[in-house]
Structure 1
């Protein structure tokens, strides 16, 4: 008699267990659908543009994934990146060295991430509350620092990630695409091949069990927020390469978009399960949906409705998967 452990899993069970499969299938279906319903979606220039549009949110989502894997959440990630763009642009416009401005902006992002992580671990407050408060503080700080103005960026270094090359003479790629791919691969390696990554998953699954097994839970969580801050600083650089203008009102929904990408990528909001490669696919799904629906003439408000429905479905599937595996 075949036991439950020996039984070959059904297609549905395989998709639930292999978290990256579902998002990848959803991406393929979305691309196929829009290629059939619009004339220009599969155009090489359009596909390149879709990837470029996903870069900033995708980079923010990478940092968000690390935090969510520890059963946390970061509502301040986009506001941290916006503040970093303003620091970089304003320092460069004021006659400062562009390399110094770039590094200082990233350092500020890392410092804010460290503060959030320190409050979460030191005072044992819920990450939602801490990062909600940090979101309010950083958003206000960015507007005060900008004095209600936006700052154009003309320095080659700050806009370097927007530089373009052409593969096979026609496919447009940017340096930002290469950097984003490298970051996702490094994060994947760190999470799957190092002790730090195993500790991150263990803390997200059960912090008390992780502590009893000898893992420094607080240190691990703090390190995740610090690394996430570094990623948000790079997202700021990505943003200046994408649009050479630092605006205090930019990416107002960036935190929600990054969470959407993480959830659509198969990472559990309850911590301990998911992958950064799934998040990369999730960010592409968001960009593909917006591009395809726009080309199909769908109002942006209805696009938000469709995205919201997808998020709810993704969370419901995750909860169902957890129930089946319990």
Structure 2
């Protein structure tokens, strides 16, 4: 059987880019390949990667979700408040995840039933939820406290299993479930079909509105998971948490090969894209590059990702 190397190159372009980036950085700074630094990169990447996993579902349908950072913030604030109020870890996790899912559902309803463009609907959600977070926290951090419940909660962000940070296992679990849903369920096939041709999917009997609401619910849920990871890691909820995270998530999805037009992409590609961004941030920190220049570099990566998408 003839191997189409050009097709393979296009298919595995994100992974190839990740490997090349890692090699270049390791040559510039040997500290990059240390075990502690690699684990640190994975832990830092986990938050953006988890958000990006949910974003992948949304973008595959041809949509966009700008509210993920604000959902992370409000969910983190609520979880910190509940832990501090001794509500219990199980109740706190359930409430936080439910809140993220409900907020995603509301965005989906506004888009499907209200006929609002995804960009506008989620932009409004981003602004409203950011304001709600500032009101809820009074513009101040909320500490989770120092009791037993707070220690258990902190384990999700700072704990280790077999020497590997817990957030890394949470990231793997989210991507494993996402992969199964997209590749081995009817719902996953509907997601790809809607992104490929929404009208044809509707005429084929697919309940497009329900699927779209579901993908925004998934995006809200993964944002809530990321909020738990970030809040538990810091042992406090910052009112400005998650600002700009939507850009990182979108960049990770597109860098991973998912088309902004929808219908094409994989969650493993998204994971690769998230790792590229995480490694880039880590490399710039190792080289003591100013945060101002880091913003320029990140913006450049997003631009490159969009240009790559347009050339497909």
Number of the residue aligned with 1:165: 160
Structural RMSD (CA)? 1.7
Stretches of structure 1 that go unaligned for 5 or more consecutive residues are 1-5, 322-326
Greater helix share, 1 or 2?
A: 2
SS of match in other structure, 2:230: helix
Give the drift of 1:8.
Answer: 6.0
SS of match in other structure, 1:198: helix
TM-score (structure 1 length as normaliser): 0.90
Give the drift of 1:10.
Answer: 4.6
Given the alignment of the two structures, is residue 242 of structure 1 paired with residue 233 of structure 2, yes or no? Answer: yes
Number of the residue aligned with 2:49: 58
Given the alignment of the two structures, is residue 32 of structure 1 paired with residue 27 of structure 2, yes or no? Answer: no
Number of the residue aligned with 2:251: 260
Distance 1:225 1:251 in 2: 18
Give the drift of 1:98.
Answer: 2.8
- Residues 1-326 of structure 1: matches in 2 within 5 Å? 9-11=4-6, 13-16=7-10, 18=11, 21-153=12-144, 154=146, 155-165=150-160, 167=162, 172-321=163-312
Matched residues, number:
308
Distance 1:314 1:249 in 2: 26
Distance 1:8 1:157 in 2: 51
User: Is contact 1:158-1:240 (8 Å) kept?
Assistant: no
Give the drift of 1:92.
Answer: 1.9
User: Is contact 2:72-2:241 (8 Å) kept?
Assistant: no
Distance 1:81 1:311 in 2: 21
Moved more, 291-300 or 253-262: 291-300
- Residues 123-182 of structure 1 show CA distances to partners (whole Å, capped at 9, x for unaligned) of 121100000000000000000000121112241332221243365xxxx41122112101
Which portions of structure 1, spanning 4 or more consecutive aligned residues, are displaced by more than 4 angstroms? none
TM-score (structure 2 length as normaliser): 0.94
